[in-house]
Structure 1
Amino acid sequence: MSLLPDFMLLALLGGIGLAIISAPLGVFMVWQRQSYFGATLAHSALLGISIGLYLHLDLTLSVIVVSMIVAAGIFGLGQYKQLSSDTLLGILAHSSLAFGLILISLQDNIQVDLMGYLFGDILSINTVDLTLILFTSLLILVFYIKHWQSLLNVTLNPELAQVEGVNVKQVQLLFVLLLAFMIALSMKIVGVLLVTSLLIIPAAAARKLSNSPEQMLVISIFIGIFSIVAGLITSYYIDVPTGPAIVMAATVVFLLLQLKPQSTR
């Protein structure tokens, strides 16, 4: 007997697909200490929703476009050193959130479930969403086949990577654009307020068990998949919101792994 009913099959497939595409991006977010960058992009997703509503555009497309523009803007502004990166990210995160809320307040009779976008609704996944997840996974696969070693070198030492002939700015820009695309895509599943958690927590948990970047990536995928399945089961049987249940499942795994004694090797 299945633990989940048939109507949750698309949600399960979409969630597993999201866990798989989150892991390659999440591990580098953890290594590069970019969690606040992810949070800023998540806030910009709400701006994308408000602009889509205001201009009567497809909301998924609007969020993707706005998130990628904001990501490119963050990358461009980050090349100037007048402001520290955390200050710049804080300004952009809160200003985009404020502007998005202002745009929403100017509109009457909004026919959209904003709570669904804030906290996610994985049960609303359809075949179009699955196609987008598959497309994103192919983009990430191509990117990592081509740039895995370069991205590792940039993460460890950008100056040395530049000397070795790596186009550091190009690799970093492609990475942040992929990250923005993935965050915009996953907003429908776990919501604007929880999407960064799905990127960071499995990767942070996998770090405790890993001895190499490749190992951390694989373990992060399995932790993400387990979190999706456990969150769906918890949501179905206990009747709690699915997005938060997924994040809490990942958090429990992370906390349990912190009890594991550190290897002395």
Structure 2
Amino acid sequence: MFDDFMTRATLGGMGTALAAAPLGCFVVWRRMAYFGDATAHAAILGVALSLAVELPIFAGAMVIALVMAAAVTLLSGRGYAMDTLLGVMAHSALAFGLVAVSFLSGIQLDLMAYLFGDILAVSRGDLAVIWGGAALVVALVAWRWSALLTATLNPDLARAAGIDPRREAMVLTLALAVVVAVAIKVVGVLLITAMLIIPAATARPFARTPEAMALVAAGIAVAGAWTGLQASYHLDTPTGPTIVCVIAILFAASTLLTRLRGVN
């Protein structure tokens, strides 16, 4: 079964969707979209590091994503507005990563595959990384769900309950770094944030509880990944961007449906 490239691509897309969607709910609730962008854009620097020292791409991308997240956390509140700081760091990290890649000599590199994904080239080893990372993220979020939710809704209430909001923020940072690392192969560093945010935003009008929103977001992400892959195959379009386009169409449809229900 795993010898068929479409089967591997489908499983890779679904694994990435399952990892990104529940975490994306917290990104939406905490208004961390720019934070996700900064972490994802920094991953291209991790790709350059991995290729330079002959490490797995997953390891380099995750290390740099964690470093970026820690740097943002340390620099926040030091005289710059958070959106300004994240904007500077996101685009600077991407630029430094692209420049670093240009210095790699003797290495054949398809830069577009890392920027926009190359899901059709997913191997068995990539599947192991993607599903292993997805299992880690889902297990981590499920384990810390109550604490994460409390810290997200009301940090003061979390402290009163003995929950450290900074610790929960670090849990989210770790999970985000893992998602960025596993999603590079599927949608690339420029589109990872879309996989985090759009399914969660699409699910929001149809869920009455946080748990329901996470489940609906996961279903939307998986459906979008499968539909986008099929559409890309038949229309001969770039797969990663096509997946994001499908999920964006679902978001537009959900927004229109919500407006129509409100009018009626």
Residue number in structure 1 paired with 2:63: 65
Show structure 1 runs of 4+ deviating over 6 A: none
8 Å contact 2:228–2:243 — kept in the other structure?
yes
8 Å contact 2:5–2:122 — kept in the other structure?
no
| TM-score calculated relative to the size of structure 2 | 0.92
- C-alpha distance in 2, partners of 1:104/1:144? 33
Aligned pair 1:238/2:235, yes or no? Answer: yes
Residue number in structure 2 paired with 1:112: 109
Aligned pair 1:45/2:43, yes or no? Answer: yes
Residue number in structure 2 paired with 1:207: 204
- Give the counterpart of 1:29 among 24, 27, 30: 27
8 Å contact 2:45–2:97 — kept in the other structure?
yes
User: Kindly tell me: are residues 133 and 53 of structure 1, through their superposed partners in 2, closer, same or farther at Cα, counting changes over 3 Å?
Assistant: closer
- Give the counterpart of 2:245 among 240, 248, 259: 248
- Give the counterpart of 2:125 among 128, 133, 137: 128
| TM-score calculated relative to the size of structure 1 | 0.91
- C-alpha distance in 1, partners of 2:200/2:49? 32
Q: Which amino acid aligns with 1:42?
A: A
Bigger drift between 64-73 and 51-60 goes to: 51-60
- C-alpha distance in 1, partners of 2:42/2:152? 25
Residue number in structure 2 paired with 1:100: 97
Question: What number of residue pairs does the alignment pair up?
Answer: 259
Q: CA shift at 1:73, angstroms?
A: 2.1
Q: Which amino acid aligns with 1:216?
A: M
Q: Could you tell me which runs of 5 or more consecutive residues in structure 1 were left unpaired when the two chains were aligned.
A: none
Report percent identity of matched pairs.
41
- Give the counterpart of 2:138 among 121, 141, 147: 141
- C-alpha distance in 1, partners of 2:239/2:175? 25
- C-alpha distance in 1, partners of 2:133/2:52? 27
Q: Which amino acid aligns with 1:44?
A: A
Aligned pair 1:173/2:170, yes or no? Answer: yes
Q: CA shift at 1:81, angstroms?
A: 4.1
- Structure 2 counterpart SS, 1:99: helix
Q: Could you tell me which runs of 5 or more consecutive residues in structure 2 were left unpaired when the two chains were aligned.
A: none
- C-alpha distance in 2, partners of 1:140/1:99? 28
- Give the counterpart of 2:185 among 177, 184, 188: 188
User: Kindly tell me: are residues 88 and 18 of structure 1, through their superposed partners in 2, closer, same or farther at Cα, counting changes over 3 Å?
Assistant: same
Q: CA shift at 1:88, angstroms?
A: 1.6
How large is the Cα RMSD of the aligned pairs? 1.8
